[in-house]
Chain A
Amino acid sequence: MEKRTDKNSYTILFAIIMVLIVGSILAFLATALKPKIDVNKQLEKQQNILYALGVNDNDEKSVAFISTDKVAEEFNKYIVKQLVIQGKDVRVDNKAYLIDIKKEQASAKISSYERQLPLFLGVKENKVSYIVPIRGKGLWDAIWGYVAMDKNMTVTGVFFDHKGETPGLGANINQRFFMDDFIGENLLDPSGKFAGIDISKSNADPVNVDKIDNEVDAIAGATITGDGVAAMIRSELKVYSSYFINLKNN
């Protein structure tokens, strides 16, 4: 005799009930936890921006952010101004750090829409840094980060992160040995044109002594993630270069 669980009607009924149960559990959890997750994400953005500025709890090797209970206060202290650049228009917006870069990139592609470009002015030890959020593609998924520079587009600090790069290889873009190499590199070439920073396999400069070659050392086994970082820096910072040229001329 055919078993009860082999019947088509039972199979369909089972599938429907299972999907309903699983779907409602997940929907309920996602909605219930969303406010908490959103707060965590906002704090993380503030931590990342401060990290690029050099405000962090790092010791010699580790990556350590300002703790979450202090970060909002420190953010207000160090980030003196948040700007949004849109075309020729520059305005002050205290929620600029919440602008969704992914959405801006997408809508800039499909219409004549002028992209909103957030820019944060941070002051640490009396030095002004301009911090810019960037976003691009790694090997498997999104990568993003924040680049802090002075008005000559010389990098003063970076922070990179990723959604799903290979652990032990591409995932190491958020480690100190990689990020610290960028400090002091110039985004402009010696003639003053925008050049970006390449992730080079033949740099032969592991501690990055040469700061004017527009190159840092690649991570072994993470070629595509590294290329993604270089492409992200090039395309995402280029759109800001006219702002910096104006800044220098004024």
Chain B
Amino acid sequence: MGFFKDSNLITDPLADNNPITIQVLGICSALAITAELEASIVMSVAVLFVLGVGNVVISLMRNIIPSKIRIIVQLIVVATLVIIVDLVLKAFAYELSKTLSVFVGLIITNCIIMGRFEAFALANGPWKSFLDGIGNSLGYAVILVIVGFFRELLGSGTLLGNPVLGDPIEKTGVYAYGYENNGFMLLAPMALITVGLIIWVQRSRNTALIED
């Protein structure tokens, strides 16, 4: 029933309606935290949680939210959710909360969250909104992981912190043949260029996505 009928809510944002490459939301965090694959994954999981729950909450409130102050209400809902999670983690899983604490500010200001509240949850029921939240955060995650993968591999020669290309100081692996890490990959401009390349590849494969 419901799930199969609405499964496009999950699959569309993965490619043809991707929040980063098509809707151009969440660019700031995609640039900021993709220097390492691990940070990309942590951020994706955090957004998955907040957007999934937040979309449901906003959807349940959609008929009582006054339209004049709806943006502020959305902001309060996101901020409250994130702070509650942060407080509970600090009390019961302190180590985990330290890993996540740097992401808290980035989640609250992530425009994907506000964008989906505004564009979807305010007009649809809770179950659909939940699927939309999950779908969009997965679409976000796909791009973050791709960008993080290339930036960490080419910039630091590691993946998830493991040296996969050999040791640049001891000159083992590919470094023995004169390969060097490209430090420029670690800086924000290369994240933008990487996202740009993904957009280019995606639109040349599916020309229907090109806007006039």
Contacts and interface: CB of A to CB of B under 8 A. Distances in A.
A48 to B, nearest CB: 11
Contact of B91 (A14, A19, A33, A61): A33
Contacts of A206: 169
Nearest to B163: A61
Given A168-B33, A168-B39, A163 B101 contact: yes
Q: Which DSSP category, helix, strand, loop or mixed, fits chain B's interface? A: helix
A68 B103 CA distance: 24
B208 interface: no
Contacts of A164: 101-102, 105
A33 B88 contact: yes
Nearest to A221: B186
Interface in B32-52: 32-36, 39, 42-43
A10 interface: yes
B187 A11 contact: no
A40 B94 contact: yes
A15 B183 contact: no
Given A26-B84, A40-B94, A5 B65 contact: yes
Q: Which DSSP category, helix, strand, loop or mixed, fits chain A's interface? A: helix
A171 to B, nearest CB: 6
Interface string B82-108: 011001101110100010011101000
Interface residues of B, number: 39
B90 A40 contact: yes
A18 B57 CA distance: 13
A136 to B, nearest CB: 17
Contacts of A163: 101-102
A164 B105 CA distance: 8
Interface stretch (B13-21, B68-76, B199-207): B68-76
A33 B87 contact: yes
Given A11-B69, A167-B43, A18 B76 contact: yes
The 6 closest A-B pairs by CB, nearest first: A168-B35, A167-B39, A168-B36, A11-B66, A33-B91, A221-B186
